[in-house]
Each structure stands twice: as C-alpha cells, then as structure tokens.
Structure 1
C-alpha cells in the first residue's frame, strides 16, 4: 500500500545579527581609535570618504577633468591607483574587458587593495574572496550573468509593473502629512527591500535584513580597518547561512520557482558554486538591487527640492518623467566608482598604464563631464542626452537590473504626481560616508500638495 511522504518541516533559520549598523560600527571604532582613521595625503586622492559625506566632491573632480581624462595617484590608504575621471576614457576602458580585468583574482571591482600572501601571513588571517559574476571575466561572467538575466528582460519587467505600482501607492498613501519624517527609511528603504524580497522569495518579515547586509557589504571603508573587516566577514557569513536555508527549501519544491534563488539552483553555471561564490553573488544582487535604487529614490527628492524650476516642470509636464529618471540617475549616480586591473601594458589617452595597475573608474565624475553634458551640475529633466549617463556602467558589465531600477523610479514619480505630492526637504540631510556607495543615510522631509 502506497504511503504519502510527510511534508518536510521548514528549514530552521540561523541566528543572525541585526545591529549595529555598519555606519554606527565605523563611527564607534574611529571614536575609540582615532589613530586608525584613513590618511589621504594626495590632493587628488578622491578615495577620501568625507568629500562624499560632505557633498564637496564636485570641485576636485572638475579640476582633474580639466587637467586630463585620467591621473596617477601614487599613494592612498587603498594603495596607488589610476583615477579615470573623463566620460570618454571610462567608456574606452570599459570596452576593453580583456585588457582591463574585473576579476576578483586580480582585485575585483572596488578600490580596496587585495593583500598578497605575505601580508596575509603577517596579519595572521586566511585569504577571503567574494567571487561574483560582476567580478569575473569572460567566459565565467557570461554564464552566470545569463542565469539571472531572464528576471530582468523587458517582458519580465512589464509583468512586475502592476505589483510595483500597487506597493508604491500603498507606501505613499501611508505617509504622514503635516509632520517631518525620514524619506530614506520610510520610502526608499521600504520600497527597495520589498522589491528585493520579492525577487529572492525572501521571508517578508525579515526583509530589513537585506538593507542591513547591503550596508555591511557595500562600505569599502570597513574593509580597510582590520577589526571591522572581521565583523563584516562574520555578518556576511551569517547572511550566506540564512540564504542557504532558502536554497535548501527551494530544492524541495516540486516545481522550479521563478525567484533568483530557484534560478540559481536550476542553472548549470551557478548550481555548483562554492560557498564563497554563493556569498559573493548574494552580495552583488543585494547591493545592486538595494543601495543603488534606494539612493536614487532619495536623490530624486533632494534634487527636485534643490532645483524648484525643475520640480515645477515635473508637476506641469508629467510626460517628462521617463527622461527625468535618466537625468536623476546622471545627477545621483548610486555607485561612485568601479575598479579594473590592467592585464598588459597599454596606452590610454596619452598615459601608459602598466600590467597590474589598479584602474578606478569614477562614474560620479563622468556624469558631470562638461564635454558630454552642458551645464552638468544643474538638474535638467528636458536634457536631450541624459541617457548617456554611466550610472549603470558601460559594456559587458552594465548593470543587469538597470531596467528594473528605471521602472521603480518611474513608477515612484508617476504615483507621486498622481497624488499631487510635493516633497520638501525640511530637516537633516545626512549622506553616506563612503567612496563606493553614493547616497543618503537620512533625508528629513515634509509633504504638501501642488
């Protein structure tokens, strides 16, 4: 007589930390150990996080662009590097992925220095790597990117629009009137973590963990402080353990799901990933889907408040919203830089870059390049070439989720307009203190009606 197999019990979730935030940990560490603060001696070392926290980065990049497309920075807390600041030079380098490698084996995609074996031995730690497909070269990059790409096709994005619009409307309808509140926490984080939870099939009640992990993963300054890097690595291991329970649950499903975890499980390019590779790709998808859209959602509000003539134009001409999204992405680039490593001696715009040199592409500068964008420091939602921004990168590593980010931003502006919602900056504005993720930690606002 046949028996029915019992339903497997839910996989037990591991215990994970939910505090402190990466920002609080960094602030507390430097308060206790001021001698460990990063020192920047070169005037053009744009890896200094305070210029982004204080929003004073524009003049130094303008000075550098006026002097050339790229510049050698001989010393920084992250080692020597080429600062590529011009739009043309960044596109040129991005178009040569064999010469300018993204591979984690050469150092990956951030300005962080990859320690050699001798340095690791001196520190008494083992090598720690986070392979992810954005930090891979072809052909590995191609296979893994192709696994998740179906989630971000035009058809897939169109199918998500109704749900995104409904959730956006619900969040906006809950906002308080006549009082000041933090837009970052109440709107930007809520919308982006909700979207990520849906993409991953992540437990809804724990969705704020995605923001917590994203912040610990995306803050490069943490990686330059040994004690904090230890904490960071432990938190990322907890993240991987949590996701491992989701992986196990999805393998029990009779039918393959269409969430990102299920897509990885059923992909020959990704279902045999090492634990480090699994962790790395989680970091990529979480930071890529969280920090980037979150910070642009806050940047929209800040920019429209700073340029009231453009806010008036937005209110009077909602047909400009799709182009306004591109212009906001240009102004509020969510990731300040990406890094490449030169694999052979080569010449770029009159400069000789040697094999092994670290090459840092400052998208934040390219998007203000006056040779490409007229009056680049002004928001102009009618700008004809706003789409030439490099906020999503360029070439084979261009952000796989770009269309989804654009949809989320467009829907937010459309739903705000439908409600005739005008958002004023009305209190503290606190920016992220980092040279990689670029955005807002707090943005206190008040809502009126237009």
Structure 2
C-alpha cells in the first residue's frame, strides 16, 4: 500500500477545494495545522466523505452531537476490527476488547475493570502522591529540561508498572511499546517502521508471557490474590486462557498500556503548555488552587490526547443529511468535536473555571467509554496540587515537538524552566 498522502498539506485549508484535503494525514497534528482543517469541516461539511486517502475512503464525523450519536450506537457502528483509521496489519493481527462488539467486549472489559474500582483508586492515591513528590523534587530549578521525559513519561511509566506489577527498573519498556503499538504509517500515519514495530511487539509478547506464567504459578501455590491487570485476567473464567490466543493477549495488553499511557502522559504535558499559552489562566490557578478539580477535565478536553476513534457502519445510517452505507468506515474526530463552538463556548480557549468542564468527548461515550478515566483525572489532580506547593512558575521555552500521528495527539519533547 502506498502510504503517501493523496494531497499536499496547505497552511490555509480554506484556499483549496475541500475535497482535495486529506484529514487523515498524520502531519496535520505534527505541524499543528489540524485545528483549521477541522474547523472548515465543521462549518461546511460536518459529515464528510473522503473518497481517497492512504487508508481508503472514510467518513469524517466532526461535530460534537454527531460524534455522540455514533459513539452511543454500537449496534449501528461496529468497533471491529480496529478503532484506528488504518488496519492493524496482517503480520501481527492484534485483537483487543476496545475493537470488539458485545458480548466479547463486555466479558473482557469486565475482567480488568476492578483495577480501577473506587477502593483501588483510593488505595493508589497516596502512592501516586509519593511518586509525584519524588519526581518533582528531583527536577532542576532554573535550568532548561525536557518536561515530557522527566515528568510526563516518568510518572506514567511508574503508574503502568504498578498496574501490571511489572519490573520497576524496566518500566520505560512499557512507554516504548506504547509508542510502537500503532505508530506506523499504515496504521495512524506515523513514522515508526514496520520492522521496528515487529521487533518491539514480539519483545512485549515474550515479556508478558513470562509475567503470565509467573502470576499463574503464584496463584497455584496459594499466594495472596493481587489486583494487577495480569492477575485479574487470570482470575476471570472469561479470560483465564487468553494466553492460548497470543494475538488477543498481546492486543489487550497493548490496549491497557496505551490506555494507561497516552491520555495521562500527553495531558500532563498539554496542561502545562495550555497554561503557558493562556497566562491569565495560570495566574488564576496560582491565586486559587481550589480550581484544580475543574481544570483537570478542561485540560483533557483542550488537549484531546486521542484524536479519533473509528467504526464500521453495520447498516445504512442517515446522519447530517448524508447516507452512510453499510460497510463504510466512519471516523469520529474527538479532537474536532471538542472544539465545536455550537456546543462549547470559546472552545479554542483554555478556561480553567469553565462551566460544564466535563462536557467533552476525550473519554468517549457508551460501552467503550475509557475505563481508566478516573485514574487519569486523579493523577493530573495530584500533579497540579504538588506543583503549586513547590514552584512559583514553570515556563515553556519555545514550542514543543509534536508527534506525527492521526491518532495520538501528543508531544515528544517540551523544554521548560522552573522557578521556585
């Protein structure tokens, strides 16, 4: 398959015919041009059919209410076989519960849901706060450093290691595997090579096979039951033999890694970037730290860490004056719906005391709503509480480096300087 975009990127999407624009181009997010592209779609053709793209033809759903409709009607729009715009590839044909329909989806999700049950979140809070404090206390004051590496990746990799009961010293492997999972041009318009992805995912499968065998042995000799994700899969009669289906096992492991990594990691960076772009909001926050709980969902809306989710129409569906045919690929652009001015006032602005801040699409809706949303919010809340205790300011120096992907809306680096 030729993965070159069918069109050239233009800095002004209003200057060309709308049908000549490629909304699947991962470079839109790498360059920051995405917002103007999707603004035009919302204004002129909110349910838009793109006949030609490197990923084949697809519909772009760009308004808040239309995205909600698609997300909530899983009987009309199937998640199988993938939730990214491209296919996962025949070399490693991953299966994962987010890309399944009921009843398989429900059975597998229910097996791991207890890891983020309220009592477990309460138990994790003190550990997260302890780790956040240690990370922040180790940062250099008055010197430029990379916030993504020193804070965002470090905190999320530590949290993932806890959720999986993964060897702590090897935790950065989890971040690397997350980056590799859907980073190729064929899957999300990224810049990871197929060879690199293949080697990484084979290493991931081998490592988690060993962890599975270890947990199984511990259960068999009567060691205390654990609430890490591997132990939970082993403890459910719906998933206790998943190891025998390696692509399903690997797919679900990667889903849980990506879910635990990308939302929090990129919101940790995006929130700081937003406060620097809107300095009056930063001053408002410093003057009133009680705004943190309301700011957290505003960060997640403004950042929108995952730009889209894909579905396949199961039957002909009328939407926005168009007819989506059975079998058509449908892409819900969360990143566009979260900037829909018809639903969210001043949607491009970052407003930490925004009313109805939880009115956003970043976690999805319906049966596929993000399982770890409360954990992500708790981590962000704790980080900002601890930052305000320690530092008078964190200045972003220059523009951050963004990830090339039409799926993960993220940062690869952001240089900052801290003041006491």
Q: Into which bin does the TM-score normalised by the smaller protein fall?
A: over 0.9
Q: Which runs of 5+ in 2 are unaligned?
A: 9-18
CA distance in 1 between partners of 2:353 and 2:407 (Å): 28
Check if 1:67 corresponds to 2:44. yes
- CA contact 2:3–2:185 (8 Å) conserved in 1: no
Alignment partner for residue 268 of structure 1, among 224, 237, 240? Answer: 237
Q: Which residue of 1 aligns with 2:201?
A: 236
The structure number with the bigger radius of gyration is 1
Q: SS of the residue aligned with 1:387? A: coil
2:354 to 365, 380, 383: 383
Name the residue aligned to 1:21: none
Structure-2 separation of matches of 1:259 and 1:395: 25
Distance in 2, Cα, partners of 1:73 & 1:173: 49
Aligned partners of 2:306 and 2:335 also within 8 Å: yes
Residue 226 of structure 1, CA deviation: 12
Structure 2 residue aligned with 1:123: none
Q: Report matched runs for 1:15-34 at 5 Å.
A: none
> Could you list the per-position Cα deviations for residues 221-258 of structure 1 after superposition, in whole angstroms to 9, with x for gaps in the alignment?
25479992243133212101111111111011123221
Which residue of the partner structure matches residue 360 of structure 1? 331
- Partner Cα separation in structure 1 for residue 47 and residue 184 of structure 2: 22
How many correspondences in the alignment?
A: 402
- TM-score normalised per structure 2: 0.92
How far has the Cα of 1:420 moved from its partner?
3.4
Q: In structure 1, the residue corresponding to 2:400 is in which secondary structure?
A: strand
C-alpha separation between the residues in 1 aligned to 2:168 and 2:217? 20
Are 1:175 and 2:136 matched, yes or no? no
Contact 2:55 2:186 survives alignment (8 Å): no
Q: Supply the distance in 2 between the matched residues of 1:226 and 1:54 (Cα, whole angstroms).
A: 14
* Contact residue 111 and residue 233 of structure 2 kept, 8 A: yes
**Which residue of 1 is the match for residue 118 of structure 2?**
154
Counterparts of 1:260-299 in structure 2, within 5 Å, are 260-273=229-242, 274-299=245-270
State the partner residue of 2:60. 83
Deviations along 1:31-60, whole A, 9 cap, x unmatched?
xxxx96443365432111111111111111
TM superposition score normalised by structure 1 = 0.86
CA deviation after TM superposition for structure 1 residue 366, in Å:
0.4
Q: Which residues of 2 match residues 427-438 of structure 1 at below 5 A?
A: 427=398, 429-438=400-409
- In 2, Cα distance between the equivalents of 1:428 and 1:330? 20
Distance 1:441 1:43 in 2: 29
Root-mean-square deviation (Å):
1.8
> How far apart, in 2, do the equivalents of 1:113 and 1:202 lie?
29
Please give the residue correspondences for 1:70-219 in structure 2 after superposition, counting only pairs within 5 Å.
Answer: 70-104=47-81, 108-113=82-87, 128-219=92-183
CA distance 1:246–1:101, change in 2 (3 Å): same
Structure 1 residue 220: Cα displacement:
4.6
5+ residue gaps, structure 1:
1-34, 116-125
SS of the aligned residue for 1:352 comes to strand
Instruction: Please list the CA deviations of residues 295-326 of structure 1 after superposition, one character each: whole Å capped at 9, or x if unmatched.
Output: 01000110001100000011011111011001
The answer for the alignment partner of 1:398 in structure 2 is 369
> Which residue of the partner structure matches residue 417 of structure 1?
388
